[in-house]
Amino acid sequence: MAAIDIQNVSFEYEYEEKRYLALDNVNLKISDGEFVCIIGQSGCGKSTLVTLLEGLQFPLEGHILIDDKEVDGPGKDRCIVFQHYSLFAWLTAKRNVIFGLKQKYPKAPKKELEHIALEYLKKVGLEGYENKYPRQLSGGQQQRVAIARSLAMDPDILLMDEPFGAVDTKTRAELQDLLRDLCSHGERRRTVVFITHDVDEALYLADRIIFMQPRRIRKDIQTGFGEDRQRDELTKSTPYIKLRSELISLFYEKVSNEIAEEGAYI
């Protein structure tokens, strides 16, 4: 089980002896196995929320619970994938995956760890690349290794902070398809919290979209597109087009309100 309950969470950063409020009384419940995308403008608190879920920082006020247990630090039930690939340059793809496995299964035999590593590299389409170093892999391939390392540890919760932001459009689409196949289908559904600025990415991936404005949640939207969504059909559908328009309007809501108040013309 991997249900998340964020209760009245506030958080502040301190910089040059000044304090800045990053989150203000945020409440959010995420069900076990749900794929949630969090979107919003830069600086609204998305990444801060993920670091709190990972247990890398702690709320100023409020509580973060996973299956009714308060988060008190990083846990083996959670893995995080960042925009930058976070691979060890001196380790091969296989050894990068094994490094993660050793943290969760310190007493497992070497052959067993190698078998798991190869299995997950195959799942992410990197069979035959296991002995390549990061410098010998493309950006998309490096991110596949990072995903394989996280999934091989069999986490209940996968946290992803702009994981596809540094790859080209084609590779991004391929990684989106891969992630849906690995996390949203079959018996082993994982709870995924995915940060993105990309509206189309959120719509394609998510069961639910959380739109954040600075420091708080502005809107909570169920997509309703189902598990077996097909990209070409989905993007042409009326519900998709309508929801996409609504999300884009939220990005420009503040500007639109200011223009209306000032009586400007555009």
- Classify 4-77+155-262 by CATH class: alpha beta
Spans of all domains in the chain = 4-77+155-262
Which residues in the chain come in under a pLDDT of 70? 1, 85, 185-188, 254-266
The DSSP bridge partners found for residue 12 are 21
pTM value is 0.88
What interhelical angle do 139-152 and 93-104 show, nearest 10?
20
Q: What is the pLDDT of residues 197-206, one digit of tens each?
A: 999 999 999 9
Contact residues for 225 (Cβ-Cβ < 8 A; gap 6+):
203, 234, 239, 240
Q: What is the pLDDT of residues 15-38, one digit of tens each?
A: 778 888 999 999 999 999 999 999
